[in-house]
Structure 1
Amino acid sequence: MYIVTSLTDPILTPNAIALGNFDGIHLGHQCVFEPILSANLTSTSLHSTVVTFCPHPQEFFRGQKRQLLTPIPEKVKILDRLGIEQLILIPFNQELAALSPQQFVKDILLDLFQAKQISVGQDFRFGYQRSGTAEELKMIAEPLGTEVMIHSLKTCLDSRISSSRIRQALADGDTEQVKQMLGRSYSLVGTVVQGQQIGRTIGFPTANLSVPEEKLLPRFGVYCVKVILEDDQILAGVMNIGCRPTVAGEKPTIEVHLLDWKGDLYGQTLTVSLEKFLRPEQKFSSLEALKTQIEQDCNQAREILRA
């Protein structure tokens, strides 16, 4: 996939564009992508292009880092897997924030990106003080020859799917609801780094995962997980995320124990998919009590993944 990070970079044109923030790339977002993927299949002249903003507009306006469901490297992999041809990351700055809806559509989308088709969600807002609506986008672009497709909001369990709702479900440890809204399990992608190796001393060696600092972490506790190694091997595992109160941990860590597997994972990039929340983080009276609980967690995970 071709990636553009500056408005001065060369851009593949003309385009069929999906426009939005798309944090999480949930099933609602994927509905917005469908028309541009179809346009790419039926027209050799149009490039399927996702246009989004970096940093996230909320991060720009609030002046603080925003935890993301899909940091840029993860978003790139998912979009590439979906078949998107080009990703344009518009730098969100004061100059962009000051553009009127008309200026943004005409100067950026039509003139610079040469958009011939634009796909957005019903709740899309843009331009100065978010004053532009999806309907206004249609009113500006279509008289100039660019088709605009507006998609109604997708629902799950009788409520609209949204990044905010996914965040809340992750905070609750509701992995099943998250899976229903994303169309896949929520994943943590990171590199295996050196840890304290306490797990090894009680018979449960763990891979300590370092993830991007902007990655949104789920509820602290123990999860049944599937782990994809760099060689695409898929393994069963148990993940603990939290501050490890039994051993007086201070900073949150992500530790993954692979079931019935031995090997060296240091330096590897792992993709850990959260399949089910098993229990909250807790403090045990001894390492022996912790070991007993981990054995129970592993047995429960085996049952879940066999089902």
Structure 2
Amino acid sequence: MRVISSTIEALTPTCVALGNFDGVHRGHQQVIAPAIHRARALSEKTVIGDRPEKSQKAYATVVTFDPHPREFFSGNPQHSLTPLGEKQEILAHFGTEQLVLLSFDRELAALTPTEFVAEILVKQLQTQFISVGIDFSFGQGRSGNATDLQAIAQTFGIDVHITPLCREGETRISSSAIREALTLGKIDYGNQLLGRPYRLQGKVIHGQKLGRTIGFPTANLAIEPTKFLPKYGVYAVQVTGDTLPRQQWGILNIGCRPTITATTQPTVEVHLLDHHQDLYGDTLTVELHHYLRPEQKFASIQALQAQIDQDGDRARTLLTPSPH
């Protein structure tokens, strides 16, 4: 999938899903799917008489903003559920052909809703179809909404699909709801809203090698600085990596290691239950499935060792598939 930060580089014409899409959760997926389907439909072969002809290619395109408008206006860095590399991988999996990162600056923020449609979507991206969520807002001072977009686009002959809110029970599926679940350690619920396990990804780096001194070697992960970290504590996880022969079970600790050598910055360390080779330099993807317990300070190393043993046993139980 192409990732571009200038509309000049975009492959056109486009069918566009428009939004911020942090997390690419179940609600976002319902916004993105119509743009992918319309692009495919426009690009399929058609038959005119006895002669097959190919329609003009249209590119399934996600258009988002960089930085996030909230970050631009507040000046505060935003920690993302899906940093760019992860977002790119997920969008490609769903069939997106290009991701356009619109540089959100004062010039873009000053465009009226009509100017945004005419200049960015029509002139630069040659958009033939637009998909947005019902809560989408755009243009100077967030003055345009989804129905405004529909009306403006209609004057250019462009269809706009408006996706209703996606809910899980009474909860609206949103990036904010997922962050709240992760902050509370409700990883099962966060995963349910996402539609997949929340994951952390990073290269294995040299740490203080303290885990192996107590019989539980860990892989210390260098996580993207902008990645949103869930509640500190211990998780049952599944791990894939560059040199791992298959998906592995493990226990993940996020926190400041109060028992051994307390740190001011959180570390992310994973102990694989059935794999003991060095993984330095490998990139590991860690899927968080169950929150086991909060981080705590133990009275002794022996007490910590006993707890890690219990964590491993509980992780095995929780990760073992239920018989059908």
TM-score range relative to shorter protein: over 0.9
- Checking the alignment, whether the CA contact within 8 Å between 2:128 and 2:159 is kept in structure 1 is yes
CA distance in structure 1 between the partners assigned to 2:185 and 2:114 by the alignment: 42
2:303 to 289, 299, 302: 289
**Deviation at residue 264 of structure 1 after TM alignment:** 1.7
2:79 pairs, out of 67, 71, 93, with 67
The yes-or-no answer on 1:106 pairing with 2:105 is no
Shift of 1:41: 2.3
Q: Mark the runs of 5 or more structure 1 residues left unpaired by the alignment.
A: none
Q: CA deviation at 1:231?
A: 4.9
Unmatched segments (≥5 aa) in structure 2: 44-56
Aligned-pair identity in percent equals 50
The superposition leaves residues 123-176 of structure 1 with CA deviations (integer Å, 9 ceiling, x where unpaired) of 000010111100000000012111000010000121110000000000011111
In structure 2, the residue matched to 1:31 is: 30
Structure 2 residue corresponding to 1:146, chosen from 146, 158, 161 = 158
Largest Rg, 1 or 2: 2
Offset, 1:248: 3.1
Q: Does 1:254 align with 2:268?
A: yes
Question: Which residue does the alignment assign to 2:139?
Answer: 127
What is the alpha-carbon distance in structure 1 between the residues aligned to residue 169 and residue 292 of structure 2?
23
Q: What CA distance in whole angstroms lies between the structure 2 residues aligned with 1:136 and 1:43? A: 25
What pairs up with 1:220-235 in 2 under 5 angstroms?
Answer: 220-231=232-243, 233-235=246-248
Name segments (4+ residues, structure 1) moved above 4 Å: none
Give distance in 1, aligned partners of 2:307 and 2:216.
Answer: 11
Secondary structure, in 3 states, of the residue corresponding to 1:302? helix
Q: What's the counterpart of residue 4 of structure 1?
A: 4
More displaced, 238-247 or 41-50?
41-50
Residues 37-91 of structure 1 deviation map (CA, whole Å, 9 limit, x = unaligned): 2123222121100000011111100001111100111100111111100100001
Tell me what 1:242 maps to: 255
TM-score by length of 1: 0.98
- Using the size of structure 2 for normalisation, the TM-score is 0.93
Q: Does 1:115 align with 2:127?
A: yes
Kindly state the Cα deviation for residue 266 of structure 1 after the two structures are TM-superposed: 0.6
Cα distance in 2 for partners of 1:107, 1:41 equals 25
Distance 1:272 1:24 in 2: 16
The one-letter amino acid of 2:134's match is Q
Q: Take 2:243 and 2:125, find their aligned partners in 1: how far apart are those partners? A: 37
For 1:99 and 1:230, locate their aligned partners in 2 and report how far apart those are by CA, in whole Å.
45
Q: CA deviation digits over 1:206-257, x for unaligned, max 9?
A: 0001111110000000000001112573110000000010013222100100
**Counterpart AA for 2:317:** E
When the two structures are aligned, how many residues end up with a matched partner?
A: 306
Give the Cα–Cα distance (whole angstroms) in 2 for the partners of residues 231 and 98 of structure 1: 49
Pairing 1:172–2:171 present: no
Is contact 2:243-2:282 (8 Å) kept?
Answer: no
RMSD: 1.0
- Structure 1 distance, partners of 2:229, 2:239, is 17
- The equivalent of 1:42 in structure 2 is 41
Aligned to 2:53: none
- Which stretch of structure 1 is more off in the superposition, 43-52 or 16-25? 43-52
Cα distance between partner residues in 2 of 1:259 and 1:39: 46
Q: Which residue of 1 aligns with 2:54?
A: none
| Corresponding residue number in structure 1 for 2:203 | 191
